[in-house]
Amino acid sequence: MFTKILIANRGEIACRVAASCARLAIKTVAVYSDADAASKHVAACGEAVHIGGSAPKDSYLRWEKIIAAAKATGAQAIHPGYGFLSENEEFAQACANAGLVFIGPPPSAIQSMGLKAESKRLMEAANVPLVPGYHGVNQDAALLQAEADAIGYPVLIKASAGGGGKGMRAVDKAEDFAAALASCKREAINSFGDDAVLIEKYVQRPRHIEIQVFGDTFGNYVYLFERDCSVQRRHQKVLEEAPAPGMTEHLRRQMGEAAVAAARAVKYVGAGTVEFIVEQPGGYDHPEAMRFYFMEMNTRLQVEHPVTEAITGQDLVEWQLRVASGEPLPCKQEDLKIHGHAIEARICAENPDNNFLPATGTLHVYGLPVCTTFERADHAVRVDSGVREFDPISPFYDSMVAKLIVHGATREEALARLDTALAQTHIVGLATNVQFLRHVTTSASFAQAQLDTALIPREAAVLFNQEKVGLPMATAAMVADMLVREHALAQHATVHGWIDPWAQRDGWRSHGASNREFKLEFHGEPHTALFTRLHDGGLQLTVDGHTAALRYAQVAGGALDVRYGDLRATVHLYKKGEVAHVFTAQGATQIVAIDALAHAGEAQTEGGRLTAPMPGKVVSFAVKAGDVVKKGQALAVMEAMKMEHTIAAPADGTVAELLFAPGDQVTEGAELLKLALVE
């Protein structure tokens, strides 16, 4: 076994690898960029080496600096994590050339599985089922049209070197094929420098099911069962679970053996994932009719590996380390069993209600559910995270903040546990998808395991713009929290001597009632509330003209039991400036109590300003000064957290001035261009 390794990654996966190494008494070396100098993964390792600027191309993709850091610190091996250099055969070969062990597959396996068309030819030779299609090298447009006609519509055109949904088009009828092919090839050459495509049957009601495989240097292979990753947005996974709901033992064995055959075909070593597209011709209730086809192989550890660890009781990072150090696989196939059900939710800094726009900011509150560590096979709730409270979420890297993993005896138990754990996840400082995840897990399709890659658009009506905590409870919670804070200040004054009656804010009157008015903002709309303290000590709250009794009590964990009329909720509330962030078991929301004095003298917002919705890089402008534009017309493209976002015109107008150039880094709120609006 190694005595010291370097972790060539950041964030939660670097922390995850470091945790397994600590348990195995392996010393670790972190690498970090300018943006990550004070990050959690640096603190998790015994040593750390600075490797460059904040952008990945200046640090985490500079493999020559990473190898130099490993040599300088005496590391024997490099763990690449996932993303960045984890599937780069040149980096794997450079490690070997430098006398370092790459904790992953051999470069030849990475290369073989890197190109879709090449990998499909290999899988066909290994008798791994493929989606009916054309994977040849001849790219003549007429030939491709003929192949698509022979396969039968609908078909999918896919860039051979593609990924992330780029260079991909679905075609429903023959007359649309030529235009879709041309568009796909243009996008492929711009994104990957290669316009080669393949044609495949477009699978109806597709599920994304993947098999975790492992191989060692002795020629041994096992599969650690399957994960269902069908719930996706923008071709990126949102929820993953193991085992796959509705999976029959016969199909599980077929897919497992096919995945092992795929790994054996490229002499694979280490952890890998063989991804299959699964057709459901008989519908959701007939799993016996499901058919599977090879899609691709990820030659690394997957983000969703914790659900496999949960149901098998195995530490997959430990397996990686043992195999890379020359040991045989820790288990044989017959030793591996499935225990219960596990689900992983990816918590991301983004706004689902605004087309999943990435968010940046500081984690002013980062409250997580009570959880156990990954070392326990029977953990009920696990959180893998690379950040701490008060850490920044920067625009330079992926938007994922943490992974929340739950395990239960059944899927129903795991689902209930996941919703509870998500309700206990309190994040303040930036937008996240936590509430969206709750909506997905409680949707009819997900709850009933009616899974396919179209689940999110199919359930859109109950997933987006859902408000589970209304204005009355939000206002009651805000007022109750205010009263608790004022009482605490009064108690503090009493402890330190005498009570100054003029310093109290309890609104006491010798007779009658006292009133306090609040100007509120809830989801961008103005509201008014009136709090009344009655002479007999009772409390009343009037919200937009509706009056009811208000009662509250402090309960365990810093929460408040709030009752307003017939409404009742246990509330955690966090104040950040004028904004109160309200978290309940039913959902979460924000309400603003406007401080009139704080806004006195503020100027009105200037019309015609188009600002950056997040920090990032200006990719391009679609207009120039003097252009006349229509409302909704694309004006510019920005990139942040590895995703592109289009800035559109809010109204008709004329472009007065471009204030940045393509390639410029901008801060959130920076004015990108001036637009003279049509009056």
- Which tokens go with 139? 């790219």
Tell me the C-alpha distance between 341 and 344, whole Å: 10
Sheet holding 197-201, edge to edge: 133-134, 197-201, 155-159, 168-171
Check: CB of residue 108 under 8 Å from CB of residue 86.
no
Tell me the C-alpha distance between 561 and 551, whole Å: 8
Amino acid of residue 236: Q
Tell me the C-alpha distance between 129 and 124, whole Å: 7
Alpha-carbon 93 to chain mean position: 31
- The helix (run of H) or strand (run of E) holding residue 321 is helix 316-324
Say which residues have a Cβ less than 8 Å from residue 577's Cβ, sequence separation at least 6. Answer: none
- Which tokens go with 258? 């096919």
CA separation (Å) from 247 to 66, 282, 451, 570? 42, 14, 12, 39
Tell me the C-alpha distance between 446 and 425, whole Å: 21
Check: CB of residue 208 under 8 Å from CB of residue 275.
yes
- Residues forming beta bridges with residue 592, ordered by sequence position: 521, 579
Question: What region does 640 belong to: left with phi over 0, alpha with psi -120 to 50, or beta?
Answer: beta
Tell me the C-alpha distance between 578 and 267, whole Å: 60
- The helix (run of H) or strand (run of E) holding residue 406 is strand 400-408
Check: CB of residue 117 under 8 Å from CB of residue 128.
no
List 10, 227, 300, 417, catalytic entry: 300
Our answer to whether residue 376 is catalytic in this structure is no
Which residues are tagged catalytic? Answer: 300
